[in-house]
Amino acid sequence: MDSGLAALLGSAVGSAATLGAALVSGRAQARSQHAQWTRQHRRDAYAGYLGALHDRDIAMDAVLAALRAPEPDLADVEDRTRRFVTLAREVHRACEVVVLEGPVAVVHVAERVTHASGALSQVVRRMAENARAGDTTSRAEDSALAAERERELYQAVRDFRLAARSTIGGTD
């Protein structure tokens, strides 16, 4: 084989290897960028959900504080309840984004938060209805149940945080 042909073959092999390495590197970089993009969108969805939950929980605490007063101001209870309902809708919107972004494990934990929140809301609704009716017979019992439901909700939110953090890669 003459030296010109050998040089040409060597150059072709070198070019093919370089092109192959560039393709592999490009694919790896694209996968890495896509994974980062996915993590960022999930982080945004999870942060939005947790922020909405926080705002709604503050509103729930305000409703409970108004209901636990010795003589609840019904107009104040109604105002606080309206604010709570508005913020609860924001939580549902934020949860829909979490459902879209996934993964399924995080969605399941978010559903636990929704269930725990609903259980607490039922107790608060009953407390508000009793306050409107002037019925104080189950007040202590309902307050204790509300405290228990708050603890369950707090645990579910804590589990959501852990699942979200694990999903976006912040497990350290």
Measured from the Cβ of residue 72, the count of other Cβ atoms closer than 10 Å reads: 20
Q: How many CA atoms lie within 13 A of 67 on its CB side?
A: 31
- In angstroms, the CA 37 to CA 168 distance is 11
In a domain, 21, yes or no: no
CA distance 168 to 11: 44
Contact 55, 87 (CB under 8 A): yes
Q: Is residue 32 part of a domain?
A: no
Distance CA 38, CA 46 (A): 12
Domain range for residue 151? 37-168
Residue 87 counted as domain residue: yes
**Both structure tokens of 11:** 């150059």
- CATH code for the domain of 112: 1.20.1420
Q: What percent of the chain has pLDDT over 90?
A: 64
Does the structure show a pLDDT above 70 at 95? yes
Is residue 148 over pLDDT 70? Answer: yes
> Would you place residue 2 in the very low, low, confident or very high pLDDT band (cuts 50, 70, 90)?
confident
pLDDT 10s digits, 34-79: 678 888 989 999 999 999 999 999 999 999 999 888 899 999 999 9
Residues 6+ apart with CB under 8 A from 53: 91, 94, 113, 157
Q: How far apart are CA 165 and CA 159, in angstroms?
A: 10
Does residue 13 lie within any of the structural domains?
no
Residue 14 belongs to a domain: no
